Amino acid sequence: MRMKDKVALITGAASGMGAATARLFGREGAKAVVVADVLDKEGEAVVADIRKAQGKADFIHLDVTDEAGWKGVIDQTVATHGGLDVLVNNAGISGSAEQDLYDTAAWNRLMGINATGVFLGMKHGIAAMKKGGRRGSVINLSSISGIVGQGFIHVGYNASKGAVRLLTKAGAAQHGRDGIRINSVHPGLMPPMRTSGRTADPETRAKTLKGVPLGRAGEVDEVAYAILFLASDESSYVTGAELVVDGGLTAV
Ligand SMILES: NC(=O)c1ccc[n+]([C@@H]2O[C@H](COP(=O)([O-])OP(=O)(O)OC[C@H]3O[C@@H](n4cnc5c(N)ncnc54)[C@H](O)[C@@H]3O)[C@@H](O)[C@H]2O)c1
């Protein structure tokens, strides 16, 4: 039971890696898993799955770009479950459906959800952890796109994921003495996002796959287990780190 006694909030947990992480935290005995997303029906379904497996979970509607919404979700989590121990800033959108890689509206959307959404989560999540006097762990979902550039994705995706990488390190530097650890996770070739365009295209995927030393795409649970390690006390001396989960793609 690697999440015993821990209250965890996961954004974008209605789908993909967020949903896999929520289910895993449930199986690992979390005191509560708060599933937050803009997709209510899908989020409720994840909660139902967790409860069916004897886990404890709630769904809360949250648009991560909405600061008042963040305050409400954090307040509700603390009031219902007595505090916050783990925050997974996972919600995100892809830049691979954009034709114009410099489209300004897309830049604002990508930075708003992928970067400002994480900033707001850190701002309000860390404040709640500090106020409760609890040690905490924040895990921010970046990407290999936060480490290297790609020619076929809107530049705002790389920029937003790069922002997440350094936001993580700045937070780690500032909050270590509060007992709060902050790390980033960098998945590589994974099942496509709901908002994927070119990265969902079989031809593009086959090309990317050629550069993956492990010779296959990753699975959502393989990222969820990396997040679990950073959320649990097993990683008690790990902060400001970037955990790459890409089958070796950026190693070569
Ligand atoms: N799938 C990949 O190839 C891949 C690779 C590297 C990194 N990532 C990152 O991992 C994270 C999870 O991606 P995924 O593959 O599970 O994608 P997904 O599309 O399956 O899930 C993303 C979730 O975020 C939610 N979301 C989007 N905008 C939101 C908002 N404004 N407020 C709240 N929720 C919002 C969506 O509703 C969805 O449930 C993202 O941050 C993504 O950028 C994905």
For residue 245 and ligand 1, the question of a CB distance below 6 A is answered with: no
Q: Which residues contact 69 (CB under 8 A, 6 or more apart)?
A: 61, 62, 63
Tokens of 185: 């996770």
DSSP state of 6: -
Both tokens of 21, joined, read 């992480």
7-245 CATH, one of 1.10.3470.10, 3.40.50.720, 1.20.58.1610, 3.40.50.1100: 3.40.50.720
Task: For residue range 7-17, list pLDDT tens digits in order.
Answer: 999 999 999 99
Which pLDDT band holds residue 80 (cuts at 50, 70, 90)?
very high
| 157 Cα nearest atom in ligand 1 | 43
**pLDDT level of residue 113 (50, 70, 90 thresholds):** very high
Tell me the average pLDDT across 166-176: 98
The pLDDT tens digits for 196-244 are: 999 999 999 999 999 999 999 999 999 999 999 999 999 999 999 999 9
Across the strands, what pairs with 189?
none
Does residue 134 have a pLDDT over 90? no
Q: What is the mean pLDDT of residues 56-60?
A: 98
**According to the model, what pLDDT value does residue 211 have?**
97
Measure 133 CA to ligand 1 centroid, in angstroms: 30
CB-based contact 231:25 (threshold 8 Å): yes
d(CA 173, CA 42): 36
**What is the model's pLDDT at position 109?**
98
- For the entire predicted model, the pTM comes to 0.99
Ordered by start, the domain boundaries in the chain are 7-245
> For 148-166, what is the mean pLDDT?
97
